[in-house]
Amino acid sequence: MKNRYSRQTMFSGIGRDGQKLLLDKHVLIVGAGALGSAAAETLARAGVGRITIIDRDYVEYSNLNRQQLYTENDAALPMPKARAAKERLEAVNSEITIEAVVGEADPAFLENLGTVDVIIDALDNFDTRMLLNDFSQKHGIPWIYGACVGSYGLTYTILPGESACLHCLMEDIPLDGETCDTVGIIAPAVQMVSSHQTTEAMKLLTEQPEKSRKTLLSFDLWSNETSEVQVETLKKAECPSCGEHAHHPFLQYENRAKSEVLCGRDAVQVRPGSRQYISLPDLKNRYENQVQKENPYLLVLQLEDKRFVIFEDGRTIIHGENDKAKARTLYQKYIGG
């Protein structure tokens, strides 16, 4: 479409050359919640040529205050976030390629992606973040960390071979612990983190890494506080993720738990024991009186007093259960594996 990107080509930081570079690049967005929605929309509008977005969850009404790609209809169905995101992003920009994956960013997924130019962290859990950190270091792909909770946000751009990586910072800076849903969140905090993440992405995609922010930035919009920490000196020569003898421990499959408590959700996610095929139609036939909702991507069953949300890949979110072992037993009893 004519003039579509005119306001960016007029902007001296991007220009015509920068715009061509954007159209030629591939961004991976890991997570399609609040940060992922915001980043994906901005980068799709900006004309990044290929965007891959992966998410393991589905849309709920409680997402709508901040997850800007989704509608009431997506929550009613409910749609997996990655599918709903793809539909919306294609409506925003039909000239680029959007790849959406309903599932988890595990090592197999990451290693099969092909060339990726920048990774945007839009996750809500620390384990997968550390996996991304290792993947980025192993393949030399820049990634942009981002997190927010309440009115607080944090972001940091990691350039492999230059910056201290997330693993280097872990001991000295509290990066974990407050990612839980329990304290709530306001949309402007998301937008602020995402503004920093997407601007950093644009600098890197237009091949201007020297313009990237070198500090760890944090802010609290409600209490009007901002701080920037110089973290270059925290880079550790012995770091298992980016050091001289890096072995990328988080890329090892055996470090992955079979089930996981979803923070603040009164739910546990159970992964199938192996990558076996789960047939949603078969499950639907087996539990026809317990089916609450169904669509081509997931099945919602009410079993005992728990709500099971079963995805095509066999992953199941069991609501009303906070105990990993009990959730696993329930999974084996009703789903199999």
Amino acid letter for position 189: A
Of residues 149 and 164, the one with the C-beta less far from Zn ion? 164
Omega cis (within 30) before 142: no
Single residue of 22, 32, 144, 165 touching Zn ion by CB under 5 A: 165
Please give the Cα distance from 5 to 83 (Å, whole number): 26
Asked if 239 interacts with Zn ion (CB under 5 A), we say: yes
Please give the Cα distance from 53 to 102 (Å, whole number): 9
The first and second tokens of residue 111, run together, are: 């290693």
Amino acid letter for position 40: A
Of 279, 234, 257, the C-alpha closest to 327 is 257
Of residues 77 and 166, the one with the C-beta less far from Zn ion? 166
Single residue of 56, 86, 138, 167 touching Zn ion by CB under 5 A: 167
Q: Which stretch binds Zn ion (CB under 5 A): 50-58, 140-148, 160-168, 255-263?
A: 160-168
Q: Which stretch binds Zn ion (CB under 5 A): 20-28, 100-108, 196-204, 231-239?
A: 231-239
- Distance of closest approach, residue 158 Cβ to Zn ion, in angstroms: 9
- C-alpha torsion 312→313→317→318, nearest 10: 80
In this structure, the strands spanning 26-30 and 118-121 are parallel
Single residue of 157, 241, 259, 316 touching Zn ion by CB under 5 A: 241
Single residue of 69, 101, 132, 168 touching Zn ion by CB under 5 A: 168
Number of residues counted as binding Zn ion (CB under 5 A) = 6
In the chain, what's the furthest Cα-to-Cα distance?
Answer: 61
Asked if 163 interacts with Zn ion (CB under 5 A), we say: no
Beta strands in 83-211 (DSSP E): 97-102, 118-121, 143-149, 152-158
Of residues 119 and 239, the one with the C-beta less far from Zn ion? 239
- Distance of closest approach, residue 250 Cβ to Zn ion, in angstroms: 12
Asked if 170 interacts with Zn ion (CB under 5 A), we say: no
Sign of CA dihedral 322, 323, 327, 328: positive
Q: Which stretch binds Zn ion (CB under 5 A): 140-148, 162-170, 214-222, 293-301?
A: 162-170
Helix orientation angle between 81-92 and 34-46, rounded to the nearest 10 degrees: 20
Of residues 66 and 167, the one with the C-beta less far from Zn ion? 167
- Distance of closest approach, residue 167 Cβ to Zn ion, in angstroms: 4
- Distance of closest approach, residue 246 Cβ to Zn ion, in angstroms: 8
Of residues 213 and 284, the one with the C-beta less far from Zn ion? 213
Asked if 21 interacts with Zn ion (CB under 5 A), we say: no
Please give the Cα distance from 53 to 124 (Å, whole number): 15
Burial letters 230-252, b for 16+ CB under 10 A, else e: ebeebebeebbbbbeebebebbe
Beta strands in 17-160 (DSSP E): 26-30, 50-55, 97-102, 118-121, 143-149, 152-158
Q: Which stretch binds Zn ion (CB under 5 A): 80-88, 200-208, 235-243, 318-326?
A: 235-243
Q: Which stretch binds Zn ion (CB under 5 A): 17-25, 30-38, 238-246, 307-315?
A: 238-246
Of residues 55 and 134, the one with the C-beta less far from Zn ion? 134
Of residues 88 and 236, the one with the C-beta less far from Zn ion? 236
What CA–CA distances, in Å, run from 143 to 114, 140, 291?
16, 9, 41
Of residues 57 and 121, the one with the C-beta less far from Zn ion? 121
Of residues 143 and 308, the one with the C-beta less far from Zn ion? 143
Beta strands in 25-77 (DSSP E): 26-30, 50-55
User: Contact residues for Zn ion (CB under 5 A)?
Assistant: 165, 167-168, 239, 241-242
